[in-house]
Amino acid sequence: MAALERAGQRLTPQRLAIAEALARTGKEATVQELYDQVRRKHPYIGRATIFRSVDMLVEAGLAQRLERPGHVSAYIWCEPGHHHHLICTSCRAVEDLGETLVAPLAKSIARERGFRVDHATLDFYGLCRACAAKRGKPAAS
Amino acid sequence: MAALERAGQRLTPQRLAIAEALARTGKEATVQELYDQVRRKHPYIGRATIFRSVDMLVEAGLAQRLERPGHVSAYIWCEPGHHHHLICTSCRAVEDLGETLVAPLAKSIARERGFRVDHATLDFYGLCRACAAKRGKPAAS
DNA sequence: GTGGTTGCAAAGGTTTTGCATGTGC
DNA sequence: GCACATGCAAAACCTTTGCAACCAC
């Protein structure tokens, strides 16, 4: 959590609580979920603070906004340099994925299509090892 | 546009107009932009119809929702089997990318991490060939 | 002490929904 | 003709903003 200090931001109890909540779940979390979670210890925290704090975390490179299907933004804690993920659609656990997979792709795209890649989204959705083992087949809807 | 019929959906003038508008721009488009565009020919169309139609298009596999940063959904027309894109952050043009790049990645992830990939997002943001040529460097903010 | 941060509440904007009417098949 | 699609408007929703009080540094 010392990463927060390194980000050159003020270390308030709220921010700590939010960062901690996000880091601890190991899953993607919406603002509402973080709000519910953090409110157990900070009953007077406001939703706006969550929004402002996660924005700050994203800018500091400590979190990432997942543009996930369904119009609600979710956030995940992430170590610098790990901006791609495996996201379990069952338990919502998130695993990091390094840049190593994307870098060669970006390079070949630049070469073959003349496209100058700035950044890329690469996220895999599916079942994590545990969930895949639990149910061999995806659950029927 | 015959793809619409194939999707087993009713072919209404509104849907045709929306699909056409989306297909013709060759760019990502927000609902608001489609609304403005389609309204030139269908002044009485409602925003709700746009939302319902793009949802239908997405379900039919003829469009894709881009979860782009900034909380507004944008949609792009896409041929079946081309669900990854190069998106120009300058002119907002969209180029298709086949599945060929992702398939091997998904396979290796399944093998190495025990993760059962269902689907993946892979979109590259940057400058298309034309925009990259126009301005060698990204514009200063 | 000071400037950034918080909490509250209200505003802003996007997306969804209900229902009567209209229409493709 | 019937089921589905549309238009309208209001509701629901997430997110942002303004501002006074507060607090980390």
Spatial strand order of the sheet with B84-88 comes to A94-97, A84-88, A116-127, B116-127, B84-88, B94-97
Direct distance between the N- and C-terminal alpha carbons of chain B, in angstroms, rounded to an integer = 40
Residue A64 · residue A119 · CB < 8 Å: no
B119 contacts A125? CB cut-off 8 A: yes
Beta strand A74-77 with A94-97 is: unpaired
Does the distance separating the beta carbons of A122 and B121 come in below 8 Å?
yes
Angle at alpha carbon of residue B110, lines to A135 and A136, rounded to 5°: 15
Confidence of residue A138 (pLDDT cuts 50, 70, 90): very low
The secondary element (H helix, E strand) that includes residue B23 is helix B13-25
| Residues B131 and B67 both lie in one domain | no
pLDDT digits (tens, 9 = 90+) for A88-103: 877 888 888 878 888 8
Q: Based on the domain organization, do B102 and B75 belong to the same domain?
A: no
CATH of residue B106's domain is 3.30.1490.190
B140 by DSSP, 3-state: which? coil
CB B121 within 8 A of CB A68: no
User: Is residue A44 located within the same domain as residue A95?
Assistant: no
Q: Are residues B106 and B129 in the same domain?
A: yes
Query: Which chain A residues are Cβ-neighbours of B116 within 8 angstroms?
Result: 126-127, 132
- Same domain membership, residue B55 and residue B101: no
What's the CA gap between A98 and A102, in Å, rounded? 8
* Domain edge (last residue) among A80, A104, A133: A80
Half-sphere exposure of B78 (CA within 13 A, CB side): 29
Does residue B56 carry a pLDDT above 60?
yes
Averaged confidence pLDDT in chain B? 83
> Does A124 reach chain B within 8 Å, measured CB to CB?
yes
> pLDDT digits over A37-67, tens only?
999 999 999 999 999 999 999 888 888 887 6
Range of the domain at A96: 82-141
Number of domains in chain B: 2
